[in-house]
Amino acid sequence: MTKSTAPECELCDCSPDAVLWQDAFCRVVLVDDAAYPGFCRVILARHIREMTDLTPAERTRLMDAVFATETALREVLAPDKINLASLGNAVPHLHWHVIPRFRDDAHFPRAIWAEPCRSARARGVPDRDALSRALKLSLG
């Protein structure tokens, strides 16, 4: 499920080790970002550009995965805030960013793509197994 026929899609070519949960419709991957431990992406399995290209039932199903990811991150990491974003400007493959935020991260309260406003406090690697278990409880 981590490969697609689309050429050079970084979302399709993610490491199988990064996958926390998946089914035939979408997958949740843990992004390797030391500055933002716990940063996840919820990636639709097929190449679709926009949410409105999905049926209403598919939109609900994808957002259920986004919300389950947010819930798992809140349970395991207890962040100060969660950011949800669906951009896709550089990679037109429908996906959602689910980003745990902490008041002492380098960009808070700005977006993580902005200029940093401080040095970040080092955080440990999130418990991958706990995140995966929480997702499985929510999503099956």
Q: Does 1 map to a domain?
A: no
* Tokens encoding 19: 């996958």
- Residue 11 belongs to a domain: no
In a domain, 49, yes or no: yes
Q: Give how far Cα 28 sits from Cα of 59, 98, 99, Å.
A: 16, 10, 12
Q: Into how many domains does the chain fold?
A: 1
Q: Is residue 106 part of a domain?
A: yes
Q: Say which DSSP state 48 is in.
A: -
- Short-list 6, 10, 41, 39, CA closest to 26: 41
pTM: 0.89
Alpha-carbon separation of residue 9 from 27, 47, 112 (angstroms): 15, 9, 22
The HSE-up count of residue 31 (CA atoms within 13 Å, CB side) is 21
Q: Which domain holds residue 85?
A: 16-139
In a domain, 131, yes or no: yes
Rounded CA-CA distance 26/112 in Å is 24
Asked if residue 8 belongs to a domain, the reply is no
Instruction: Report the number of secondary-structure helices (H) and strands (E) in the chain.
Output: 2, 5
Beta bridge partners of 42: 28, 96
Q: What is the pLDDT of residue 42?
A: 97
Asked if the structure places residue 9 within a domain, the reply is no
Q: What pLDDT does 27 receive?
A: 96
Q: Which two tokens stand for residue 114?
A: 């902005």
Tokens linked to 120 = 């970040």
Residue 60's pLDDT is: 97
pLDDT of amino acid 7: 61
Q: Is 103 part of any domain?
A: yes
CA atoms of 108 and 112, how far apart (whole Å)? 8
Read off the CATH number of the domain in which 31 is found: 3.30.428.10
Please report, in tens digits, the pLDDT of each residue of the chain (140 residues total): 344 445 678 888 878 889 999 999 999 999 988 889 999 999 999 999 999 999 999 999 999 999 999 999 999 999 999 999 998 788 889 999 999 999 999 999 999 989 998 887 778 889 999 999 999 998 98
